[in-house]
Amino acid sequence: MSIVKPFKAVRPTADKAHLVASRSYVSYTKPQLRSKLHENPYSFLHIIHPDLGSNKLHKADTLEKRFELVKSKYKEFIEEEILVREEEACFYIYRQIKNGHPFTGLIAAVAVEDYNNGKIKIHEQTLSKREDTFTKYLDITDINAEPVLLMSERSTGLEIIYAKYLDQRPTYDFTTTNRDRHQLWIVNAKEDIQKIEEIYAQIDALYIADGHHRSASSAKLCESRALDTSNPTGKEPWNYFLAYILDENTVRIYEFNRLVKDLNGLEVSAFLKALEKDFYVNEAPENFKPSQKGEFSLYIHKQWFALNLKVHQETLDAQVLSDLVLNPILGIKDLRKDKRVSFLDGPKGMEGMKQLIDKKQFIAGFGLYPVAIEELKHIADINGTMPPKSTWVEPKLRSGLIVYELS
């Protein structure tokens, strides 16, 4: 049984939705961020990044002040009616069309209780420092504006409900400069709300595709507020967190490729020789991309190579690469801390990896085959975890399109 509830969202007025919704601020360079903030007074970036010009955004002694500024700016957007509160609790059908591929799912409030008891399944370890920072952010700002991306089994019942709304004119329908189309429908009919709740009550588990730190921080906030509240009912808004739930068959998982800055003192020829212990190493065509599990691409010294495992491994390819190459040969033992290794999301492709190496920012790059949905679910089912940066998941959601208030 999965607990999924409607809620009274705070959202942009229809005429400003395309101006308010923004990518995560960390995806912008500083010049891009300044440009967006100066050119668009309605961007949700003004709320996320209220201290434009500050160079100490993450210093411990400024976090509380910064989060208070976020809260203040959010209230300004409410007062100016850029953002408005829904009068009734609703679900929201959100569709993003990217490169011709439609992602259609449900924006809802999901129960922290399900996260705590393992019905919302995880596959990634979180960093306590990041958890604590985001918990503090949620507590001070009192808003949740970035949904956790969850996957569920296919439901024909949900598809029938979706089809009814998709035939209607959406509340929001706009295209962003990266050519992604965003559409949103409000589900406020009581019979549809009840049916959706009943459908999810029959689903045993939801899987986190993206947003492990956000969900873990929501659980910490719930625990903290429950301790500070007299006679909590379990129905307070902080007992839930914002989620976008998709059919697992529509989620797209890309690889996270690895780039390294040095060969740990080895010459290129010696490095290639060392790889032959565990791999068949063969020259490959330009921009060679792995076509199956257990196969890797390598770009080094302006040459492409195909690396194929000599002995099949049951573990994820990202773990194989760490166990057989990054750790023993290159001396990279901790992917989270070692500054000699970086990660490149799969959509940038082999050409993106090649460009960075040709610019001499890195000496070599490894292309990986993407993790399958079945692999991800299996790891979550056995309470396992993936190596850092194992998956790049799409769709990537915009901040500020739907806001969930925590009190």
- For residue 239, name the pLDDT band (cuts at 50, 70, 90): very high
d(CA 162, CA 133): 36
Same domain, 200 and 268: no
Same domain, 268 and 131: no
Report if residue 388 sits inside a domain: no
Domain count, the chain: 2
Report if residue 363 sits inside a domain: yes
Give the CATH number, domain containing residue 306.
3.30.1760
d(CA 240, CA 89): 14
Same domain, 153 and 302: no
DSSP state of 403: B
pLDDT of residue 61: 56
As given in the structure block, the two tokens for residue 331 are: 């001396």
d(CA 369, CA 322): 14
Q: Which domain holds residue 280?
A: 256-369
- For residue 68, name the pLDDT band (cuts at 50, 70, 90): very high
What is the overall mean pLDDT for the chain? 94
Shortest CA distance to 105 belongs to which of 43, 144, 148? 148
- For residue 54, name the pLDDT band (cuts at 50, 70, 90): very low
Residue scoring higher pLDDT (253 or 24): 253
pLDDT of residue 35: 86
Report if residue 376 sits inside a domain: no
pLDDT over 70 (residue 52): no
Do residues 323 and 278 touch, judged by C-beta distance below 8 A?
no
pLDDT of residue 399: 94
pLDDT of residue 56: 45
Same domain, 69 and 214: yes
Mean pLDDT on 7-12: 98
pLDDT of residue 144: 96
Percent of the chain surpassing pLDDT 70: 98
Q: How many residues does the chain have?
A: 407
Mean pLDDT on 221-240: 96
Question: Residue 48 — φ and ψ, nearest 5°?
Answer: -65, -35
pLDDT over 60 (residue 53): no
Mean pLDDT on 23-47: 87
Mean pLDDT on 287-300: 98
Shortest CA distance to 344 belongs to which of 324, 321, 367, 375? 367
Percent of the chain surpassing pLDDT 90: 87
Same domain, 238 and 313: no
Report if residue 375 sits inside a domain: no
pLDDT of residue 59: 46
pLDDT over 50 (residue 201): yes
Report if residue 378 sits inside a domain: no
Report if residue 379 sits inside a domain: no
CA 391 to centroid of chain Cα atoms: 10
Q: Is the peptide bond before 395 cis (omega within 30 degrees of 0)?
A: yes
Same domain, 27 and 166: yes
Same domain, 400 and 361: no
- For residue 34, name the pLDDT band (cuts at 50, 70, 90): confident
Residue 116's SS3 state is helix
Same domain, 186 and 294: no
Do residues 306 and 284 touch, judged by C-beta distance below 8 A?
yes
Do residues 96 and 395 touch, judged by C-beta distance below 8 A?
yes
CA-based torsion, 234, 235, 241, 245: positive or negative: positive
Question: Residue 161 — φ and ψ, nearest 5°?
Answer: -65, -45
Report if residue 100 sits inside a domain: yes
Mean pLDDT on 58-66: 69
pLDDT over 60 (residue 58): no
Report if residue 386 sits inside a domain: no
DSSP state of 386: P
Same domain, 15 and 138: yes
Same domain, 205 and 262: no
As given in the structure block, the two tokens for residue 88 are: 């009734």
Neighbours of 40 (CB within 10 A): 14
Q: What is the pLDDT of residues 244-280, one digit of tens each?
A: 999 999 999 999 999 999 999 999 999 999 999 999 9
Mean pLDDT on 373-400: 94
d(CA 388, CA 137): 24
Same domain, 260 and 249: no
pLDDT of residue 57: 43
Same domain, 261 and 155: no
Q: What is the pLDDT of residues 142-172, one digit of tens each?
A: 999 999 999 999 999 999 999 999 999 999 9
Q: What is the pLDDT of residues 296-347, one digit of tens each?
A: 999 999 999 999 999 999 899 999 999 999 999 999 999 988 999 999 999 9
